[in-house]
Amino acid sequence: GQLYGDVLYFATEALAGWTHSDPRPLYFWGYFVVLNGVWVLVPGLLLLDACHQLATAQRGHDRPRHKAH
């Protein structure tokens, strides 16, 4: 949900021609891109970690079991 909201936030601003953001480079890149980019980076990293954990768990579950005699 967070990533979806971020995409909408950035996309609507891009489609509006960046009219609602401060045109000065420090504010645009520092505040708008970098600080808002954290809200894309952190959930993205958490999503990648979750996918890795799920794949590891699935591989462990799919491994053939040996019967103990």
pLDDT digits (tens, 9 = 90+) for 24-68: 889 989 988 899 899 999 999 999 999 999 999 999 999 887 776
Q: Which sequence spans correspond to the domains of the chain?
A: 3-62
Name the pTM for this structure. Answer: 0.68
Token representation of residue 53 = 């954990």
Task: Give the span between the Cα atoms of 35 and 11, in whole angstroms.
Answer: 16
Token representation of residue 23 = 């045109």
Task: Give the span between the Cα atoms of 66 and 29, in whole angstroms.
Answer: 57
pLDDT at residue 69 in the model: 64
From 65, 6, 12, select the one nearest 37 (Cα to Cα): 6
Alpha helices, DSSP H, located in 16-68: 25, 36-62
